[in-house]
Amino acid sequence: MGCLVSHLAAKFAFFPPSPPTYQIKTRGDGKPTAVYTSSDAPLDDGGCSLDVLSLETKTGNKIVAFYLKNPYARLTLLYSHGNAADLGQLFDLFVQLKANLRVNLMGYDYSGYGASTGKPSESNTYADIEAVYECLETEYGVSQEDLILYGQSVGSGPTLHLAAKLPRLRGVVLHSGILSGLRVVCHVKCTLCFDIYKNVNKIRKVKCPTLVIHGTEDDVVDWLHGNGLWKMAKDPFEPLWIKGGGHCNLELYPDYIRHLCRFIYEMETITTKTRLSKIKPTLRLPKKSKSKSNPKTLSCTNPCSCCCLKSGQPDCLKCARPNCLKCTNCFKAKCCLLNWKCGCCWWRKPKCVEVKLPKCPACLRCGCFTCSCNCLSCSCW
**Is 167 found in the same domain as 96?**
yes
Going residue by residue through the chain, which has 381 residues, state the pLDDT in tens, using 9 for 90 and above: 445 555 655 665 899 999 999 999 998 888 999 999 999 899 886 666 899 999 999 999 999 999 999 999 999 999 999 999 999 999 999 999 999 999 999 999 999 999 999 999 999 999 999 999 999 999 999 999 999 999 999 999 999 999 999 999 999 999 999 999 888 888 777 777 778 899 999 999 999 999 999 999 999 999 999 999 999 999 999 999 999 999 999 999 999 999 999 999 999 998 766 766 766 665 666 665 554 444 444 444 444 444 444 344 444 444 444 445 444 444 444 444 444 444 444 444 444 555 444 445 444 445 455 444 544 444 444
CA distance 15 to 4: 19
Is the backbone peptide bond immediately before 361 cis, with ω within 30 degrees of 0? no
Nearest to 66 by CA among 100, 39, 92: 92
Q: Are 156 and 94 members of one domain?
A: yes
Last residue of a domain, one of 240, 264, 281: 281
Note whether residue 226 is domain-resident: yes
Q: Please indicate, yes or no, if residue 107 is contained in any of the structural domains.
A: yes
The answer to whether residue 297 sits within a structural domain is: no
Cβ proximity of 246 and 153 under 8 Å: no
User: Do 253 and 371 have their domain in common?
Assistant: no
Distance (Å, whole) CA 271 – CA 266 = 10
pLDDT, position 46? 67
Q: Which of these, 196, 127, 130, lies nearest to 163 by C-alpha position?
A: 130
| Domain contains 244 | yes
62: left (phi over 0), alpha (psi -120 to 50) or beta: beta
Tell me the pTM: 0.71
| Domain identity same for 235 and 374 | no
344 and 262 housed in the same domain: no
Domain count for the chain: 2
Tell me, yes or no, whether 39 and 153 share the same domain. yes
In this structure, the answer to whether residues 376 and 267 fall within a common structural domain is no
Does some domain include residue 314?
A: no
In CATH, what number is assigned to the domain containing residue 33?
Answer: 3.40.50.1820
> Final residue of a domain: which of 236, 260, 281?
281
Q: How far apart are CA 48 and CA 63, in angstroms?
A: 22
Question: Is position 369 within any domain?
Answer: yes
pLDDT of residue 126: 97
Do 83 and 154 form a contact (C-beta atoms < 8 A)? yes
Question: How confident is the model at residue 27, as a pLDDT?
Answer: 87
Annotated catalytic residue within 218, 225, 259, 372: 218
Do 204 and 340 fall into the same domain?
Answer: no
Same domain, 275 and 343: no
DSSP letter, residue 324: P
Shared domain check, 251 and 365? no
Check residue 92 and give its pLDDT. Answer: 95
Helix and strand numbers (H, E) in the chain are 10, 10
Q: Is 24 helix (H, G, I), strand (E, B) or coil?
A: strand
For 118, phi then psi, to 5°, come to: 90, -170
Tell me: do 237 and 356 sit in the same domain. no
Q: Is 121 a catalytic residue?
A: no
Establish if 215 belongs to a structural domain.
yes
Cβ neighbors of 190 (< 8 A, separation 6 or more) are none
Of 266, 281, 296, the domain-final residue: 281
How many other C-beta atoms are found inside a 10 Å radius of the C-beta of residue 134? 13
Query: Does residue 64 belong to any structural domain of this protein?
Result: yes
- Shared domain check, 102 and 245: yes
DSSP per-residue string spanning 336-351: ----TTT--TTSPPPS
Domain that holds residue 219: 2-281
Residue 54 a catalytic site member = no
Name the strand (E) or helix (H) holding 151.
strand 147-152
Return the amino acid letter for 239. Answer: P
d(CA 256, CA 357): 89
- Which of 211, 146, 224 is CA-nearest to residue 178? 224
Which is the catalytic residue, given 121, 153, 180, 311?
153
247 is catalytic: yes
